Amino acid sequence: MTQFRPGRTWIDIHEGPPLAIAHRGASAYAFDNTLRAFEVARELGADMWEVDIRLTSDGVPVAFHDADLNKVCGLDLKVGDVSAAKLAELTAAAGRPAPRFEEVAELAAKCGAGIYLDAKEADAATLAIDILRGHGIERVIVGANTPDYCADLIARDCPFPVSILVGIGIDPFPVADFCGAEIVHPCWERAGERPDRLLDGAFFAEAAGRGLAIVTWHEERVDVVEALVNMPVLGICSDQPELVSRFRRASGRQPAIVCHRGACGIAPENTLASANAAWSAGFDFVEIDVRETADGGLVVHHDPQLDRTTDAAGDLSAATVQQLSVLDAGGWFDPFYAGESIPLLEDITDLAFRAGGRLYVEIKQADPVRTAETVLGRLAAEDVFFWSWNADWLKRIRQAFPEAQLMARPEDFDTLEDCLTAFDAAIIEFNAGNATAAAIAAVHAAGRQVMIAYMGNDPEEMDRLLQLEPNLINVNAPFLVARRTEKNQ
């Protein structure tokens, strides 16, 4: 039976939920195996990064999955046929710069991330391991996709735990016995709709009896991830590591997190991608901005002009829905999102319904009653609140939909009392600068909820605002809020 070798202690002492292992970085949100993918993985709360390693012609380990450059660069060249400098030049020109592994390790050490090393050849693994040790990174797994390669890694006295990747229909335990792996990694993502059900009590009993840890395939189905999180596995790979390490409020004192224009640091603002990233991470609300097109369509876009966040120019209100539908609303943010479109309001509400998400709807320039009708036709009133700079529009929503939740800001009124009584707002929003304990207490005494808006990323200021105990906090940096609330528990 496989037994852990001396010095492989970090997996033995690991406690808590499964580790979130970002598959090739956060590859659902950035080109895989790029520094951007690993930076996003860190923001999403990944504990480890799975990195594919190949060697260039001059023997430099690089983060790259494929053996050739066909997919990335459209070139019939092997990675091993070009130098590291040439690979960097070619991939940068293609918009997908391949980093040297040294750069990845340096970033991981800075962020405190572990590395799941998928070296495609033993010499690449040896060099990458030396780099990891040089950066003092201890939380490392070295993966092998064949038993012979696994045995070779161990024979080379690999200083880190070695995993064996096992395909569908193969009993992993005799394979682990043969090659001496300490971790079994079933690659069962294509084993039907619920591959998690293959990991039953007998499977884990067998693994435990053999001293084997389990790391699972890369998984992006929410229900499957939720099941895996509750199993005795060491880690879960995912293109969306936030699904593994979802934010969960531990108490009612922690505010609901409102993601301003979605998870706008991960994906382009006011897009389906940014909304999906926010809800996938476990955050409560997505704030969106609504505008009306020339032909009466309702779309989600912040600016009155198209210039800043699309590949077009001019006033949005002068364009039709069809004209807007062909614009690129993502390439400005990152080439990965090229082709992301301006969403219709109904697209966002449909996504919210499917994701179990909630919305804060800011009406920039659109018919307020049609806007509310569109949203409330799909979402429950308690899962949405509305605000606009035009108080008359809010009053119209109140008249048409008495059950609708509205928001008001004290800065728009002479007194706090006027703010509370204007249109019976359920939520009162303070800016960070005018949020005081006394004002918040007065709002709570009136039976209303408090939201604080803060678009900065200063941890100390975030802590100050959290100490005021708002019911909601509207931010550009939701992952910072999550880390601060977890730190202060």
Average pLDDT over residues 198-215: 95
CA distance 88 to 373: 51
Average pLDDT over residues 100-118: 97
Per-residue confidence (pLDDT) for residue 486, from 0 to 100: 76
Per-residue confidence (pLDDT) for residue 250, from 0 to 100: 58
Residue 246 has pLDDT above 80, yes or no: yes
Please report which confidence band the pLDDT of residue 428 belongs to, taking 50, 70 and 90 as the band edges: very high
Neighbours of 147 (CB within 10 A): 18
Residue 14 has pLDDT above 90, yes or no: no
Residue 1 has pLDDT above 90, yes or no: no
Average pLDDT over residues 223-239: 96
Per-residue confidence (pLDDT) for residue 489, from 0 to 100: 59
Residue 185 has pLDDT above 90, yes or no: yes
CA distance 373 to 356: 19
Domain boundaries of the chain, sorted by first residue: 10-243, 256-483
The fold adopted by the segment(s) 10-243 is TIM Barrel (3.20.20)
Residue 70 has pLDDT above 50, yes or no: yes
Average pLDDT over residues 99-106: 98
Burial 69-95 (b: 16+ CB within 10 A, else e): beebbeeeeebbebebeebbebbeebe
The amino acid present at 421, given as its one-letter code, is T
Average pLDDT over residues 354-362: 97
CA distance 353 to 375: 10
Average pLDDT over residues 201-220: 96
For the structural domain made of 256-483, what CATH number should be given?
Answer: 3.20.20.190
Residue 425 has pLDDT above 70, yes or no: yes
pTM over 0.95: no
Average pLDDT over residues 39-65: 97
Q: Find all residues with CB under 8 Å of 354, minimum gap 6, and list them.
A: none
CA distance 63 to 115: 12
Per-residue confidence (pLDDT) for residue 196, from 0 to 100: 96
Average pLDDT over residues 24-51: 97
Per-residue confidence (pLDDT) for residue 5, from 0 to 100: 46
Q: What is the percent of the chain where pLDDT is above 90?
A: 90
Per-residue confidence (pLDDT) for residue 262, from 0 to 100: 98
43: left (phi over 0), alpha (psi -120 to 50) or beta: alpha
Please report which confidence band the pLDDT of residue 453 belongs to, taking 50, 70 and 90 as the band edges: very high
pLDDT tens for 133-165 read: 999 999 999 999 999 999 999 998 899 999 999
Residue 275 has pLDDT above 50, yes or no: yes
Q: Yes or no: say if 368 and 290 are a contact pair by the CB < 8 Å rule.
A: no
Per-residue confidence (pLDDT) for residue 488, from 0 to 100: 65
Per-residue confidence (pLDDT) for residue 187, from 0 to 100: 95
Per-residue confidence (pLDDT) for residue 415, from 0 to 100: 94
Number of helical (H) and strand (E) elements in the chain, helices listed first = 19, 18
pLDDT tens for 359-413 read: 999 999 999 999 999 999 999 999 999 999 999 999 999 999 999 999 999 999 9
The first and second tokens of residue 406, run together, are 């509205």
Q: Which residues are catalytic?
A: 260, 302
Average pLDDT over residues 318-322: 98
Per-residue confidence (pLDDT) for residue 251, from 0 to 100: 55
Q: What rounded mean pLDDT belongs to the chain?
A: 94
